[in-house]
Amino acid sequence: MRERHILGVSGGRDSAALAVHMRQTRPDLRLEYFFTDTGKELPEVYSFLDRLEGFLGQPIARLNPDRDFDFWMAEYGNFLPSPRTRWCTRQLKLRPLEHWLRADLEAGVTVHSYVAIRADEPSREGYTSTQSNMLVHLPLRDAGIDRKGVIDILRNADVGEPEYYDWRSRSGCTFCFFQQKIEWVRLAERHPDRFDEAVAYEKTAIDGGSPFTWSQGESLIALTKPDRVAQIKADYEKRLDRLRKRRPANPLSGRSPETIDDVYGIEEASAGCVICHK
């Protein structure tokens, strides 16, 4: 019986490090790398995928949804996706993956899926399938590789990290609702066209009667008023300062640098997902 070995890269560092790790430790496997493209990705994601492909020496399959974000937003009554109603992940990430695998899974092919859960995040469940012939493997966890280990793997392979980590904490759509307010401010500064697109979606949602905004409790327009931007930046700096005083830098500790999640005290596992943010 035929088998397939698949590895989904999200544009984030963990899944990229897993791809590198597998290439280095299991060159015997015929791994198929894939990326589910929502059509709302940052340009930095594509340049990172290009670099990763260069290291892997093979293409990363781009799985495109049959219907785009605009179609699904209209389908869901012009409501923005939110942590509680994540139609975006279901329709733009999982559905294309299911299409890609369906015929083989139904034919009884065993599909081995390699998922980037690290050793230092024990609470993550990984992508589980309802199909008994889809088997999930967690090689980073099995090899004891943590966040620092992931960064080292990417650095040593000369792949480096996606450039967006300079200003935001995780991969995913330009307007992902898991972003912190400081990340919205930075999106407006770095990619004003993408920010304007998010504003336009939010306006459509509010005009259509949706009570939800992208960022909890305030619209993007309110969030980017000069006074509010200054307040958000000052709050971020204050928190960062507090964190650094609590965790003074020690070059010998081998600890990886602070993330935005660290600054806001957010558990990584509760602020993102395996499919979009690894």
Question: Under a CB-based contact definition with an 8 Å cutoff, are residues 10 and 277 in contact?
Answer: yes
Q: Which of 8, 81, 96, 162 binds ligand SF4 (CB under 6 A)?
A: 81
- In whole angstroms, how close is the CB of 84 to ligand SF4 at the nearest point? 11
What is residue 165's DSSP assignment? G
Judged by CB, which is closer to ligand SF4: 18, or 276?
276
Partnered with residue 111 across adjacent β-strands are 4, 134
Decide if residue 38 touches ligand SF4 (CB under 6 A). yes
Partnered with residue 137 across adjacent β-strands are 114
Rounded to an integer, what distance in angstroms lies between the CA atom of residue 64 and that of residue 61? 9
Q: Which of 34, 147, 172, 199 binds ligand SF4 (CB under 6 A)?
A: 172
Q: Which of 6, 52, 88, 134 binds ligand SF4 (CB under 6 A)?
A: 88
SS3 of residue 168 by DSSP: coil
* Beta strands across the sheet bearing 110-114: 61-63, 31-36, 3-8, 110-114, 134-137
Other Cβ atoms within 10 Å of 101 Cβ, number: 20
Q: Which stretch binds ligand SF4 (CB under 6 A): 95-103, 106-114, 172-180, 259-267?
A: 172-180
Decide if residue 154 touches ligand SF4 (CB under 6 A). no
Residue 44 is encoded by which pair of tokens?
A: 């930095």
Partnered with residue 112 across adjacent β-strands are 5, 135
Decide if residue 20 touches ligand SF4 (CB under 6 A). no
Residue 161 is encoded by which pair of tokens?
A: 């990290």
- In whole angstroms, how close is the CB of 275 to ligand SF4 at the nearest point? 7
Question: Under a CB-based contact definition with an 8 Å cutoff, are residues 32 and 56 in contact?
Answer: no
- In whole angstroms, how close is the CB of 27 to ligand SF4 at the nearest point? 31
Residue 156 is encoded by which pair of tokens?
A: 């040593």
Q: Which of 20, 42, 176, 260 binds ligand SF4 (CB under 6 A)?
A: 176
- In whole angstroms, how close is the CB of 10 to ligand SF4 at the nearest point? 8
The residue behind tokens 């299409």 is: 99
Decide if residue 86 touches ligand SF4 (CB under 6 A). yes
Q: Which of 89, 113, 213, 215 binds ligand SF4 (CB under 6 A)?
A: 89
Decide if residue 9 touches ligand SF4 (CB under 6 A). no
Q: Which of 33, 114, 178, 236 binds ligand SF4 (CB under 6 A)?
A: 178
Q: Which residues does 232 contact at the CB level (< 8 Å), separation at least 6?
A: 181, 182, 185, 223
The site for ligand SF4 (CB under 6 A) is made up of 38, 81, 86, 88-89, 92-93, 172-173, 176, 178, 276
